[in-house]
């Protein structure tokens, strides 16, 4: 799903800027953004997204789930790498999914499904997913709800299953605080996202964090995290 903006540089979670668009409104917000999202995604998110795809290390024949598939920028690459596996993508926005479906028509294989769905209740069996990917979603979720989503991710991942996350994060370099200003002025202007850091939450919930990398593109700050569900 997700073009994002804005973050806070406060040191304690309670002081950090929380999500200001309710989950029930996310779909309609991104239905409006869908026609122009690819431009934003390529200008500000492509380096982080490409690195995330590398970190998935998808083995053909795997069961891969992308949550918040957006317009399919990452999902397209996932399906190409997993022609004999199962590829599932969900998103809250029908408009974003329609863009993804058009993109996926370029691939001859039909081993994928795209549908409306929520990260809070995945329609997947326990320990059924080899690789779970989510790009620019947690920066839209209230802090108090993040554990619910991560617990659901842990439920569906197989033991030693791979979790790859890309989030808008707190800026670490010159100019990145610009998005904090934009977010404070108008959260919906850039999709309602703000900067987050998830490594600590993942570790508290029992994930093994392998790496966390920082990217900044067009001043936009992203983190890419690779974590595993312990065996």
pLDDT tens track for 199-218: 999 999 999 999 999 999 99
Which residues have a Cβ under 8 Å from the Cβ of 10 and sit 6 or more positions away? 16, 17
Domains contained in the chain, CATH given: 13-228 (3.40.50.150)
Q: Which of 106, 132, 101, 100 is nearest to 119 (CA)?
A: 132
Burial group, residue 47, by CB count within 10 angstroms (0-12, 13-18, 19+): middle
Q: In degrees rounded to 5, what are phi and psi of residue 64?
A: -115, 135
Cα separation, 183 vs 179, in Å, equals: 6
Residue 33: what are its φ and ψ, rounded to 5°? -80, -25
pLDDT value of residue 189: 81
pTM over 0.85: yes
Structure tokens at 207: 């994930």
Q: Is there a contact between 212 and 223 (Cβ–Cβ < 8 Å)? A: yes
Q: Which pLDDT score is estimated for 8? A: 34
Point out the least confidently predicted range of 8-12, 122-126, 201-205, 224-228.
8-12
Q: Where does the pLDDT of residue 110 fall: very low under 50, low under 70, confident under 90, or very high at 90 and above? A: confident
Model confidence at 1, in pLDDT bands (50, 70, 90)? Answer: very low
What is the average pLDDT across 176-197?
87
44-65 pLDDT, tens digit each: 999 999 999 999 999 999 999 9
| pLDDT at site 45 | 97
pLDDT one-digit tens code per residue, 168-184: 999 999 999 898 888 88
Other CB atoms within a 10 A radius of the CB of residue 44 amount to: 25
> With 80 as the cut, is the pLDDT of residue 15 above it?
no
Output the pLDDT for position 190. Answer: 62
């Amino acid at each position: 799903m997700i073009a994002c903006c804005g973050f806070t540089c406060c040191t304690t979670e309670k002081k950090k800027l929380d999500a200001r668009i309710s989950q029930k409104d996310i779909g309609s917000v991104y239905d409006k953004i869908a026609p122009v999202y690819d431009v934003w995604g390529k200008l500000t998110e492509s380096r982080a997204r490409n690195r995330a795809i590398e970190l998935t290390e998808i083995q053909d024949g795997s069961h891969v789930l992308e949550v918040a598939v957006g317009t399919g920028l990452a999902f397209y690459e996932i399906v190409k790498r997993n022609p004999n596996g199962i590829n599932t993508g969900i998103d809250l926005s029908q408009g974003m999914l329609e863009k993804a479906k058009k993109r996926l028509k370029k691939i001859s294989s039909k081993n994928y499904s795209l549908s409306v769905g929520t990260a809070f209740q995945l329609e997947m069996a326990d320990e059924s997913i080899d690789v779970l990917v989510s790009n620019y979603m947690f920066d839209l979720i209230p802090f108090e709800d993040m554990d619910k989503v991560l617990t659901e991710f842990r439920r569906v991942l197989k033991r030693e299953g791979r979790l790859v996350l890309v989030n808008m994060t707190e800026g670490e370099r010159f100019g990145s605080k610009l998005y904090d200003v934009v977010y404070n002025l108008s959260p919906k202007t850039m999709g309602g996202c703000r900067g987050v850091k998830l490594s600590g939450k993942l570790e508290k919930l029992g994930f093994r964090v392998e790496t966390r990398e920082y990217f900044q593109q067009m001043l936009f700050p992203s983190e890419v995290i690779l974590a595993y569900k312990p065996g």
